[in-house]
Each structure stands twice: as structure tokens, then as C-alpha cells.
Structure 1
Amino acid sequence: MAGIPLAGLSLAACGSAGPGSSSASTGATYWSLTGQPQEGIRQATVERFNAANPDSTIATTVFQNDAYKTKIKTALGAGEAPTIIYGWGGGGLRTYVQADQVEDLTDWFAQDPQLKDRLFASSFAAATVDQKIYAVPCEAVAPIVLFYNKALFAKVGVQPPKTWDEVLALVPAFNSQGIAPFSLGGQSRWTNMMWLEFLFDRIGGPELFESIYAGNKDAWNAPASLQALSEVQKLVKANGFIKGFSSITADSNADQALLYSDKAAMMLHGAWTYAQMKDSAPDFVAKDLGFVNFPTVTGGKGDPSNTVGNPGQYLSISAKASDTEKDVAKKFLSTTLLDTTEQKAWIDSGNIPVVNGSDSLIGDSPDAAWLQFVYQTSSQASTFVQSWDQALSPASAEVLLDNIAKLFQLSISPEQFATSMNAVLGQ
């Protein structure tokens, strides 16, 4: 679900912005994304750094999401990348590392352990390639959450599920009342993926996807993998999802509307949807929106505290930058990025920054219960598995999304899914 959680999707690029645009020779450059409130928060942080460091400023340029992904690949290949590279970690970062395009930050972090200790430990997996750190986690976390409609649960007389068996038992209970058990924007494909991410973790533990990420031979064919694939098809066959889910889009927020309009009882979705639902249905969010972590699976290896989704955004430093530019970038990353002012701005926008102790800034926010839930889920996760379409290479991710759609449409079996995915392992 690359780019979904924090920035709007579109195509055109924007121009340079911010102070320091004429001082790049004595400072550094930084490319990132458009879209409010994120763009404004990022820019304010750069402006504070530039005001405190007038002789070594950072010049910023912003792009809309899809345009950025094209532009940064071209710039990296031409040796013309900005000093500070915005990204999502995972598979994209791995390709940068393999091409020697980003700086190894392992020793830098080791020189000042507090730099790493202040950030969620679970956020570093997506910043790490072959046991070395190549990016700094930043911005906000976005775990995948099981949302539910309290009013519908009260109407049917049931409780939120704590186990997978309870999930399956709730399906006929809601269907018998003419209520879809789960909303799902299946046309978007990555929404289906969230179910597999959790089932793979709950059944096989995080090592199951780690084996896939590492490209181990026939990793998708592991018994736990086939079990997870079978369980999700069991839910589909039991009419666990709203009728016609494969024609519903997430980009239009139609899946969210099904939850807050009492058409569906539950929805597995990203934390970013909270703010969207609050904007569209504030009374529902205030009164009837519930949220829990994904249920356990009996006999499964996954820690119940594990979560999946987006453990942060990531900033890398170009390996081709000059020593002066690298020094400015490191100073920015260690002194101003995610300072208290920026943390508060993320919280005010309804997000939890990827900083230990940031919950102390929540205060009397009207969204305090939600923010505390996101903080606890993210900071206490034994493992925070990155969204698969970000963790894998772009080529593998596209094959994955196509096969997931077919799996949910029951047009392929778990074994056929595994065979197709094993063919692109490590690509």
C-alpha cells in the first residue's frame, strides 16, 4: 500500500519550496511529498533547522506521490539525487543499497545510541538491509487495525473477536441479521493483502514472511503459508465480506462508509482511516467506533502484540552527496527531525510519531483514546511487519497483488497462489 497512509496520490510534480533554496552549495537538499498536513509539518521542521543553522541550510523540493517515485529513481540512476531521500524503507530501500546509492548509517547510530533508542525499536526492521541501517525512521506510524461498529455489535449481542475462531463464529451471527460481517474495498487489492499479513504472522510468526522477504526457496509453500491462505478463503466462502467486495474501492472510502452507515460490522484497515472517518462521520467516530488488534489463531506462533502496516516513513542520505552535505543532513536528522514541536504537530493531526514517549504529548486531545491505542499497539509490538507491497520489490509486489485478488475471488487455490509467488521470490 505504498504511499497510501500519509500522502494523497496524484501525478504532477511541484517546484522547490522553503528557505535555503539558494544555499544548497553550503547545505543540503531534501526531496519529499506534497499533501497536507504532512507537507506543512515537514516544511516547518526544515524551517526551524534553517533558522538555527543559517550557514548550512536545507533546500526542499516537493513532488506529488507518483511523480516522486519516478523522479527519485531517475535522479539516483543519474547520480543527481538530493542529499536527503524520502522513502518507505523495505524493498525500495534494498534496491538503493544494492546499487550503492545510499549511505550506511550503522556506525553513525552506534556513535550516539540515543538517536536510535528514542525511536520505536520496531521501526528499524524496514530501515535495515543485511543487518545494516540505511535510513532513519521518521514521521508517524500506521498500524493496521480491526475497526468495529459498537452499535451493530450491541444489536446482535456479541463481543469483538479475540480469536480467529470467534471471527468465523461472528460471520453467521451478523449475516443472519442482514449485516455484512466485514467491509472490504477489494478492488484496490492491497486492502485484501492486510488480511494475509496478519494471518501469516498469527499462524507462522514473523519468521514466515522474513523467509519470503529473504527469497528462500519455496518460502510461500511453507505449511503455515498454505494454512493462512486457506483460512482467508474459508472466510470468503462463508460470506464473511460484503457482497460485491471485489468491485468496491478503498480510494473512494466506500469501504469506510459501509462501516459507519451500519452496512458492515467490522473493517480491517489502516490507522489513517480514523481521521477520514472522523471527517465524514464525526458522530459515529465519537460514539460507535471501536478498535482492537487482530485476533490470535489457536496454535499459531505469532505474538498477539505483533502488528502489521507502516512502521514509519524513512529518510536516507545519498551516498553520492559531498561530505559537507552529509554532515548537514546528519545534523538535521539528529537535532531537529522529530523534535518536540514536530511530534506535537503529528499528534495534533491525529497521528502518533515514531518516538518513544510521544504519548506524553497527547494530553486532553478529543482523540486521546485512539491515539493511546495506536501508541501502545506500535510501541509495544514485538514485531511490526511492514506492508508487503512496500517490503518486497516493486516487481514482486505487483505479482503479489494480482495473485491476492485472484485468491479472494476464489479463482486460484492456495497451492496455485504459492506456486505463482515462489516463481518471483527474490526478484
Structure 2
Amino acid sequence: MISRAMSRRHLLGLGAGAGAAAALAACGSSGPSSSPGGGGDGVASYWSLSGPPGEPARKAALERFNAANPDTKISSLFFQNDAFKQKIKTSIGAGTGPTMIWGWGGGTLKSYVEAGQVDDLTDWFTQNAAVKDKLFPSSFGAATVNGRIYAMPHETVQPILLYWNKKVFDDVGVEPPQSWDDIMALVPRFNEKNIAPFSLGGQSRWTNMMWLELLLDRIAGTEVFDRVFAGEANAWSDPAVLDMLNKVKQLIDAKGFVNGYSSITADSNADQALLYTGKAAMMLHGSWSYGIQEAQGGDFVSSGGLGWMNFPPVEGGKGDPSNQVGNPGHYLSISSKASPEAKEVAKKFFSTTLIDAEEPKHWIESGNTPIIKGSDSLYGSAPNGEFLKFVYDASVNAKVFAQSWDQALSPTAAETLLDNIAKLFQGQVSPQQWVDNMNAVIGK
């Protein structure tokens, strides 16, 4: 079982650095050609991330397509995460990138659109409605810029969930929270028993961010962050943002998080261990957390000790409790510099292989939930089928599946966001200072 902490960093691309280019590690059928959108002996080219859980499933898809289309093959290259981000940025800027641009949607896709580097696929999806209908409707949010679709959603979905240790709850004699008020009421109950109410790998920063994302959604719905994403001046000044920040501060002040959370890293999985050993009662984390606890927690998961649920509503809040935040999919765009022939091959790959009957099987085998409708019929015989079905239902039924803020925003705004979230949790900025600091980077 792979580490899902690595999966989040691997799939969402956190912690990239310029020095990663020196550690470039690529493998594949061939290298890129000098012609834009080309690649080795293939008519079209595809670059993506190496390593589990994604590379085996991605290679299997390419092999299926090439076997069925020997005259219009797709060549491929696979890179480590940081190297990929460096390579794709420079190659697209130079006009020598691949036909298909793999990515996370959101802020990076928006930058491609604004630079005219990717094709508008809106009309293609209209003409190929059956393709769009095979995918979770909520996956298209991060593929959309200014109301137009610029990427094909594919691969898997990873929402943020609230986990709890059932034995700890039984021992204390309490029930899982059904509202924000319930969460706050549970905090002193666990503290009285010297159990941390919530585990948190706060040094990693993005773990803290999950609290802000879900609280703002439950308080105000999606409209506030939508205005931030659209670049509206002073959008963070909405009263709902201060309400959200003050609620987070109240939880911190009430000792809602484990002592020393700012020195705990998510990459070490120490936050997971606090939950499955019973030192913490609850944890807010991505769906990949299930695999970590199953692999490292002994019989904690197999014995039924882990509970999971959607983040509960906030009393009086506007947000729909079905809304999800996290990773609504992964995305393939088509380079505007690619040849007409290469673009047609890419679109054929989208409309055939990426939604065929084999595609979801490979992702399910890796412990992930595909974004293809109907894949839940395969979960009955799959390990972790109950959990995968929950993630499937929560994602396909979500009114909105918002992308994690650090991926939705530009790199500049995302770094300021993560820095200020860390300072908020450490008591180094007030809620109002947080708002002012974030307003200053809107649109940058």
C-alpha cells in the first residue's frame, strides 16, 4: 500500500522548487521532438508524473490506445513531480511542449488560458456530450476558466473528509459531530480525558488550509472564493471570511488541536498515527488518509475502528453540506501549438481510452476512486470497497467540488496564502491582518 501523504504531494504538486530541475528523472517510450506538440515516433505526445499510484494506470491507458491505433500512436514521458512542473513550464513557454498537457487545473490552467497556450474544448464537449456525461459533473469546475472548458477531467477524485476513532468516541461516550457547534462541544470532552480533539500536521501548512476551505464553504457557500478566484478586488473582505477565521481561532484557543501541532509534518504521517493510536479523537484529511491508516495502523481499519464523514454544516450557514473541497480530478489540456493531426489523436484518446471499461479498474486497483460514472459497480469485489463507494457517492453527488485553494490560486497568491495560514495557526497574525495580507495578492 502506498503512502497517501506522498500521494497528496505527488498529485497536488506541493513543495516544488527550482532546484528540482537538477533532479530530473524521466522515462518513457521516447523523448519530445523539436516540433511543438510532437514527440518521438508518436503523432501526439503525452507527459505526466512518474511513480505510484498514477504511472502504472497512465501507462496502461497509453498501451491500450497505441495497441488499438498503431498508425497514430501517442509517445510518452514521465517525470518526478518537481521536475515535471519545471519542465512543463519551460517547454510550454518555448512552444515545444507535449500535445497533451497534464495538470491540476485551477490557477495553473488559468495562466495557460490567459497566455493562449491551450485550446478551448467547450464546443468539443458539446459535440461529444456522451464523453462529458461519463464524468462527474463536479470535476469540470477546475477545468473551466471564464465559463469555458479547457481541459479533460480524468483519473481520480480526492475529497477532504472528517475521520474519527470509534473506540475513543465509545470510551468517552460521545457521538460524531453533526454541526460546528457539536465540534466545539466535543473539544472539552476529549481534553478532559487527555485526548487531543483533533490531530493536525500543522508544519505542512496545507493541512491547516483544509479547515479554512471547508468552514468558509459551510458558512458562505462557494460564492466568496469564486470572487477571489475571479480576481475581484478585496474579495477576502467579505464578512464570512472574518467569521471563518474567528471560528478557526476559537477552535485553536479552545485547544482543539494536539499540543505541538505546528511541529508535526504530514509527510511523516505522524498526524495519522495520533488518530489510529487513540491519542487524538478526530482528524480532517484527504481521502488518501484511509490508505495510510490501513497500511500503518495495524488492524485499526480492518477491525472497523475508523469512522469517516463529510464535514458537518455550520449553524445558519449558506453552504450545502454536500459540497466537497479537495482534488476534484486531474486534467489534460491540448496545446494550442500542436499540429491538427496531433490534436485529433488527443481528442480520440479522450473520447475512447480515458473513459473505456478498463480505465476505472486500474485506478481502483491502486486504491483510488475514479471520476467515471458507474465505476461504483466495481467496488463490491474491491478492497476498501465500502470506503471507495462513500468517496464516489460524496463526489458524484456534490453540488460543488471546489479545488484546494493552493491549487486554484496562482503560485504567488498560493504561497502567500499558505504562509498566512501558518501564521494564523501560530497566533502571528490576527484575522483582520490575514484578510489584508490576502487582499494584497488577489490577481497576482
TM bucket normalised to smaller? over 0.9
Which among 68, 78, 101 is matched to residue 84 of structure 2?
Answer: 68
Q: Does 1:91 align with 2:107?
A: yes
Task: Give CA-to-partner distance per residue, 1:26-45, whole Å, 9 cap, x none.
Answer: 51110000111310110011
| Alpha-carbon distance between aligned partners in 2 of 1:136 and 1:369, rounded to the nearest angstrom | 28
**Alignment-derived partner of residue 15 in structure 1:** 26
Q: Which amino acid aligns with 1:188?
A: S
Which among 417, 420, 423 is matched to residue 437 of structure 2?
Answer: 420
| Alpha-carbon distance between aligned partners in 2 of 1:301 and 1:180, rounded to the nearest angstrom | 30
**Alignment-derived partner of residue 36 in structure 2:** none
**Alignment-derived partner of residue 307 in structure 2:** 290
- Map 1:350-365; keep pairs closer than 5 Å: 350-365=367-382
| Alpha-carbon distance between aligned partners in 2 of 1:316 and 1:5, rounded to the nearest angstrom | 19
- Map 1:220-231; keep pairs closer than 5 Å: 220-231=236-247
Q: Which amino acid aligns with 1:289?
A: L
Which stretch has the larger CA shift, 277-286 or 35-44? Answer: 277-286
Q: Which amino acid aligns with 2:132?
A: K
Which among 101, 104, 120 is matched to residue 104 of structure 1?
Answer: 120
* 5+ long unaligned stretches in structure 1: none
**Alignment-derived partner of residue 4 in structure 1:** 9
| Alpha-carbon distance between aligned partners in 2 of 1:310 and 1:284, rounded to the nearest angstrom | 26
Q: State the SS of the aligned residue for 1:298.
A: coil
Per the TM alignment, residue 21 of structure 1 is displaced from its structure 2 partner at its CA by: 8.3
Task: Give CA-to-partner distance per residue, 1:203-238, whole Å, 9 cap, x none.
Answer: 010111101111212111111111001000100000
Q: State the SS of the aligned residue for 1:192.
A: helix
Q: State the SS of the aligned residue for 2:308.
A: strand
Q: Does 1:136 align with 2:152?
A: yes
Q: Normalising by the residue count of structure 1, what TM-score does the alignment of the two structures yield?
A: 0.97
| Alpha-carbon distance between aligned partners in 2 of 1:381 and 1:292, rounded to the nearest angstrom | 14
| Alpha-carbon distance between aligned partners in 2 of 1:258 and 1:386, rounded to the nearest angstrom | 27
Which among 171, 183, 187 is matched to residue 199 of structure 2?
Answer: 183
Per the TM alignment, residue 8 of structure 1 is displaced from its structure 2 partner at its CA by: 8.7
- Kindly tell me: are residues 288 and 5 of structure 1, through their superposed partners in 2, closer, same or farther at Cα, counting changes over 3 Å? farther
| Alpha-carbon distance between aligned partners in 2 of 1:202 and 1:61, rounded to the nearest angstrom | 41
- Map 1:70-219; keep pairs closer than 5 Å: 70-219=86-235
- State the identity as a percent: 59
Q: CA contact under 8 A between 2:164 and 2:306: conserved in structure 1?
A: yes
Which among 373, 382, 390 is matched to residue 373 of structure 1?
Answer: 390
Q: State the SS of the aligned residue for 2:300.
A: helix
Which stretch has the larger CA shift, 22-31 or 108-117? Answer: 22-31
Q: Which amino acid aligns with 1:28?
A: A
Q: Which runs of 4+ in 1 moved over 2 A?
A: 1-16, 18-26
| Alpha-carbon distance between aligned partners in 2 of 1:3 and 1:313, rounded to the nearest angstrom | 12
| Alpha-carbon distance between aligned partners in 2 of 1:381 and 1:158, rounded to the nearest angstrom | 28
Task: Give CA-to-partner distance per residue, 1:43-98, whole Å, 9 cap, x none.
Answer: 01100100000000011100000111011000011000100111000000000001
**Alignment-derived partner of residue 60 in structure 2:** 44
- Kindly tell me: are residues 71 and 20 of structure 1, through their superposed partners in 2, closer, same or farther at Cα, counting changes over 3 Å? closer
Q: CA contact under 8 A between 1:17 and 1:62: conserved in structure 2?
A: yes
Q: State the SS of the aligned residue for 2:232.
A: coil
Per the TM alignment, residue 14 of structure 1 is displaced from its structure 2 partner at its CA by: 2.6
| Alpha-carbon distance between aligned partners in 2 of 1:294 and 1:347, rounded to the nearest angstrom | 24
Question: How many residues are paired up?
Answer: 427
Q: CA contact under 8 A between 2:32 and 2:98: conserved in structure 1?
A: no
* 5+ long unaligned stretches in structure 2: 34-38
Which among 306, 323, 329 is matched to residue 340 of structure 2?
Answer: 323
Per the TM alignment, residue 5 of structure 1 is displaced from its structure 2 partner at its CA by: 5.9
- Kindly tell me: are residues 21 and 414 of structure 1, through their superposed partners in 2, closer, same or farther at Cα, counting changes over 3 Å? closer
Q: Does 1:339 align with 2:356?
A: yes
Q: CA contact under 8 A between 1:20 and 1:57: conserved in structure 2?
A: no
